Structure 1
Amino acid sequence: MALTGVLRPGHVSVRVLELEPALKHYKQVLGLIEVARDDAGRVFLKAWDEHDHHSIVLREADEAGLDYMGWKVDSPATLKKLAADLEASGLATDMSWIAAGEHPATGERFRFTVPTGHVMELYAEKEKLGNNCGTEGPDVNPDPWPDGLVGIAPSRFDHCLLYGDDLDGTVKLFREVLGFTLTEQVVLKDKPEFMIGAFLTCSNKAHDVAFIRQPVKGKLHHVSFELGSWEKVLHAGDVLSRNRTSIDLGPTRHGITRGETIYFFDPSGNRNEVFSGGYISYPDKPVITWYDDSIGPAIFYHDRKLNEAFLSVFT
């Protein structure tokens, strides 16, 4: 499948209450790599197998949560076209262009707000640092992974799960304007046209972003990072326990996406996930539907019970 248009989740900006404890968590426990700081006090990080300059932005603030999520598109021409499409759609609000260089090593970005209240942005250009896997450069005779990895060491920023009220409008925007595919949905059994949750992909992953209907605007449930195997998810549990990190749930498996998972919190209360597995999705794959009376195994396939705290805690 030729990927065009929106390619992947590119970065996410997260608010933290205190920067130094957050950096200890994201660098030493999670194992991300710091690549830059700016005059505004933001810190930019990346996972080891991401070639682009950064994927995670941390900003100290009075309230934890999500600032915005960025999406990499295939070209400057596509960036201009999608910006125009968003402006014409009637679904996006608060649209603006962010000048090149406002993020280090990044071109201009088009920022907008989706109906659930989340701030999104598109960009086409970001400097490539490479993944340091090869002694002759990252793309020549590379090793499977670089030396010096610490902590959990995920390979990439994978997805976000977000809470908001106007789920229908946001799904419409992502599908009809940005070209995403709906892979899975949660609906009311007695009213299947009423969607509770939507899992969307711009690639062939099980999901690149997910939204859950809640009576709030612009909230973050979790930021997820990819691991290569179930064994590495179990190892992540060991790392978290050794570092006395607050574990939310897992290790376990999802019914939705089939992924293996463990959830935990950064020192500010933002939920993180490390995730492996899932299936390959192509545009002709039928949408998987889950009814609300099966939400237990949909979320926690092993114990098949709903954990209310998992749904009610967000930033």
Structure 2
Amino acid sequence: MAITGVLRPGHAVLRVLDLDESVHFYTEVLGLKETGRDKSGRVYFKCWDERDHHSFVIRKADRAGMDCFGFKVQNAAVLNTLEGRLREYGVVTERVPAGEMLETGERVRFHLPTGHLIELYAEKTSVGNGLGDMNPEAWLADQKGISPIRMDHALIYGGDIDGNRKLFEDVLDFTLVERVKLEDGVTDLATWLTCSNKAHDIAMVRHSEDNKLHHVSFLLETWEQVLRAADIMSMNRVSIDIGPTRHGITRGTTIYFFDPSGNRLETFSGGYQWYPDHHPITWTWDQVGRGIFYHDRKLNEAFLSVLT
């Protein structure tokens, strides 16, 4: 299918407590490639198979969590169109000048009803994946750590996820892929939305506190690489929340774990492709455990309560 408008998740900016410890973790354990640092103290990373300059940024702060989540759009014309649609919808937007973030063009910022800061941008310097564009090899030989393919999605927590979903659907042309219902059978506990043909590009859970991050997720190619990731986490004494296991929702295989600052991350593989003629999948309250963790068929306490 042709992907237009909003193309994909483009970057996540996270707060960490110890910058040096975090840089070591993200480069040596997770296996991201550091691509730059700026005057404000932000450190930039990319996954090995990503072409753009960065997809993941950290900065030192006194509390962990996520500053913003960015999406790349097709071009400058689309960026202008989407900003106009946001304003018509009643959303306050802010233009961030090109260069404020390394190797990145102008960004349009706005807040979701849940308080999360979202950014749209059209331009980011392409640095390639190291394989070249002519007769490339299959993969890089100098990969470190877990070495995911890409930063894939985020799961956010907040109150008005209905308002979030409406904004994503009505203004940014996202589509509902899966949902979990509360006990009343009507209210959504959680929703999974896509702007592509992935099973999800962003997901949301209803929660009493706004502007909370559950996890940022990184894609691996195979179940075997997920198992290898678990070995690397154990070797490096990484705090694992749960896994390796499988989701019922999206059908991906997964591990949830924490960075040194307590930000939850995910490595996953698999799942299905979504197409516009598919119908959304609904999970009922009595099956939510199986939906989230297909093998255990129940949720663990840390998964529900630990947020940043």
**TM-score for the superposition, normalised by structure 2:** 0.99
Q: Does 1:112 align with 2:110?
A: yes
SS of 1:86's equivalent in the other structure is helix
SS of 1:256's equivalent in the other structure is coil
C-alpha distance in 1 between matches for 2:34 and 2:196: 27
Q: Does 1:197 align with 2:190?
A: yes
SS of 2:123's equivalent in the other structure is coil
C-alpha distance in 2 between matches for 1:190 and 1:118: 27
SS of 1:257's equivalent in the other structure is coil
TM superposition outliers: structure 1 runs of 4+ over 3 Å: none
Q: Tell me what 2:67 maps to.
A: 67
Q: Does 1:251 align with 2:244?
A: yes
Q: Tell me what 1:175 maps to.
A: 169
Q: Read off the aligned partner of 1:172 and give its amino acid letter.
A: K
C-alpha distance in 1 between matches for 2:75 and 2:117: 21
Q: Read off the aligned partner of 1:238 and give its amino acid letter.
A: D
Contact kept? 2:185, 2:284, Cα under 8 Å: no
Out of 124, 127, 131, the position equivalent to 1:126 is 124
Q: Pairwise mapping of residues 14-25 of structure 1 onto structure 2 (< 5 A)?
A: 14-25=14-25
RMSD: 0.8
Q: Does 1:50 align with 2:39?
A: no
Q: Does 1:274 align with 2:267?
A: yes
Gaps of 5+ in 1: none
Once the two structures are superposed, residues 174-220 of structure 1 have per-residue CA deviations (whole angstroms, 9 ceiling, x without a partner) of: 0110000110001125332x111010000000001100000111110
% identical equivalent positions:
58
Out of 204, 207, 219, the position equivalent to 2:212 is 219
SS of 2:217's equivalent in the other structure is strand
C-alpha distance in 2 between matches for 1:293 and 1:312: 19
Q: Tell me what 2:202 maps to.
A: 209
- Pairwise CA distance, 1:58: 0.4
For this pair of structures, how many residues does the alignment match? Answer: 308
- Pairwise CA distance, 1:308: 2.3
- Pairwise CA distance, 1:132: 0.5
Q: Read off the aligned partner of 1:123 and give its amino acid letter.
A: Y
Q: Read off the aligned partner of 1:221 and give its amino acid letter.
A: H
Q: Tell me what 2:89 maps to.
A: 89
Q: Tell me what 1:143 maps to.
A: 137
Once the two structures are superposed, residues 113-161 of structure 1 have per-residue CA deviations (whole angstroms, 9 ceiling, x without a partner) of: 000110001000111000002xxxx211111111210000001000000
**TM-score for the superposition, normalised by structure 1:** 0.97
C-alpha distance in 2 between matches for 1:45 and 1:12: 10
